[in-house]
Amino acid sequence: MLEYALKGDKKYWMWVGFLGLLICIGAYSYLQQFQQGLVLTNLSRDVSWGFYIAQLTYLVGVAASGVMLVLPYYLHDYKKFGNLVVFGEFMAIGAIVMCLLFVIVDLGQPLRLMNLIMNPTPNSVLFWDAMVLNGYMGLNIVVGWASLEAQKKGVPYAKWVKVLAILSVPFAFSIHTVTAFLYAGIPGRHFWLTAILAARFLASAFCAGPAIMLLALFAMEKTTKFELGKDAVQMLARIIAYAMVFNVFFFFLELFTAFYSNIPGHMHSIVYLFSGLDGYNAMVPYFWAAAFMALLSLALLIPSTTRKCKPVLIFALIILIAATWIDKGMGLVVAGFIPNMFEGVTEYMPSSTELLISMGIYAIGALIVTVLWKIAVSVKKEAAA
């Protein structure tokens, strides 16, 4: 089926070429970082995790979101997702590849990754994070490819495909749970020291991931004339809306715990995000914007009248993605280091090198998803003809 990726119109190849250009820029920036070291980043003693780890955290959620299609289709026999489920599985593959690349660039020297392989440490959360991420990626590759091949041959998928698909459901939950444990297991960082961090991660993943997927599916539908199905789109939009409700609700729980109990360690990071701390306020405008966009997205997604209007739905999905990205893709990591161990504030914003390398990694992920979706659309169109 790989041959389908080599056939495409002018727009397809222009998009692939554009992604290739972004990858080259990112690769050149990474070469600079590889030669000169992490000094090109704005990471420091006080903020040792920055933009790279923030993107890893966000993208693990994007990868996990594929379960929002897999679970209803394979476990509850919701047939209307039948046409879309492989796109969720393939998007998860692209997201996990990006996660692994963000780990590599954050390490500075990629050979350090070998320590994880050559010296496995089962009592390390990072070890289990690598295990479940790779396991989940393997399951999605096998299930997605096998089900697509069956569709190409015009036969039902094998029974073992369904078994593996159902097995991928706990893997999807575990990849983001284990990632949350990486944060929640650090007792010195009060902002992350919360029992509901894994639940917050999952709620955020199950709204942001499907939102990104749905926007990409809309773009694919427009360029390839592949019909998604109105019922499937509306069901997915409903799932996104209620996952976002839980995401916002869990954040309010954090606010109550921090401010009603009046624990300084829990309050400082949130105060920094919303009003600044000790005169440092770089994140304030972004976080207020995120809060406004989160509430506005709920106001647009919960009523069925606005949710069924496609332009409004697209707008709501865009601001939902922006809100969750600022919250989890930046604010969560940076605020966790503020204040530092000496009660001081060291602010952090990514350097141009970090941004360019991240852009290249996102382009790699987009290229993988583009190629896999191109194959899937070609097979489905051929099978339907």
pTM, full prediction: 0.91
- Greater confidence (344 vs 289) lies with 289
pLDDT (tens digit per residue) in 93-121: 999 999 999 999 998 888 877 777 777 77
**End-to-end Cα separation, the chain, in angstroms:** 17
Let me know: does 350 contact 44? Beta carbons within 8 Å. Answer: no
Let me know: does 239 contact 206? Beta carbons within 8 Å. Answer: yes
The average confidence (pLDDT) of the chain is 89
Report residue 1 as tokens. 């089926």
Task: Give the residue among 87, 179, 169 at the shortest CA–CA distance from 131.
Answer: 179
Task: Give the residue among 197, 236, 203 at the shortest CA–CA distance from 71.
Answer: 236
- Nearest-angstrom CA–CA distance, 282 and 290: 14
pLDDT (tens digit per residue) in 288-334: 999 999 999 999 999 989 999 999 999 999 999 999 999 887 888 88
Report residue 176 as tokens. 């983001």
Residue 28: the pLDDT is 96
Let me know: does 206 contact 177? Beta carbons within 8 Å. Answer: no
- Locate the DSSP E strands across 228-332: none
CA 50 to chain centre: 16
Report residue 56 as tokens. 């890893």
Burial track 288-315 (b if 16+ CB lie within 10 A, e otherwise)? eebbebbeebbebbeeeeebeeeeebee
Point out the least confidently predicted range of 72-81, 106-115, 189-198, 352-361: 106-115
Let me know: does 133 contact 179? Beta carbons within 8 Å. Answer: no
Residue 77: the pLDDT is 84
Residue 7: the pLDDT is 84
- Nearest-angstrom CA–CA distance, 25 and 38: 18
Rounded average pLDDT over 355-360: 96
Distances (CA, A) of 49 to 26, 105, 183, 354, 359: 20, 12, 11, 12, 18
Let me know: does 207 contact 328? Beta carbons within 8 Å. Answer: no
- Nearest-angstrom CA–CA distance, 278 and 295: 28
Report residue 73 as tokens. 């289709």
Helix, coil or strand: residue 100? helix
Q: Is it the case that residue 344 has pLDDT exceeding 80?
A: yes
Residue 61: the pLDDT is 84
Q: Tally Cβ neighbours within 10 Å of residue 329.
A: 22
Alpha-carbon torsion (36, 39, 41, 47), positive or negative: positive
pLDDT (tens digit per residue) in 216-260: 999 988 888 888 888 889 999 999 999 999 999 999 999 999 999
Q: Is it the case that residue 384 has pLDDT exceeding 80?
A: no
Residue 364: the pLDDT is 96
Report residue 220 as tokens. 């694919």
Let me know: does 352 contact 25? Beta carbons within 8 Å. Answer: no
Q: To which residue do tokens 């998860």 refer?
A: 92
Q: Is it the case that residue 2 has pLDDT exceeding 80?
A: no
Residue 105: the pLDDT is 93
- Nearest-angstrom CA–CA distance, 244 and 298: 7
Q: How confident is the model at residue 66 (pLDDT cuts 50, 70, 90)?
A: confident
Report residue 59 as tokens. 């993208």
CATH superfamily to which 1-384 belongs: Formate dehydrogenase/DMSO reductase domain (1.20.1630.10)
Helix, coil or strand: residue 37? coil
Residue 78: the pLDDT is 85
Residue extents of the structural domains in the chain = 1-384
Transcribe 366-377 into DSSP letters.
Answer: HHHHHHHHHHHH
Residue 321: the pLDDT is 95
- Greater confidence (41 vs 385) lies with 41
Residue 24: the pLDDT is 97
Q: How confident is the model at residue 176 (pLDDT cuts 50, 70, 90)?
A: confident
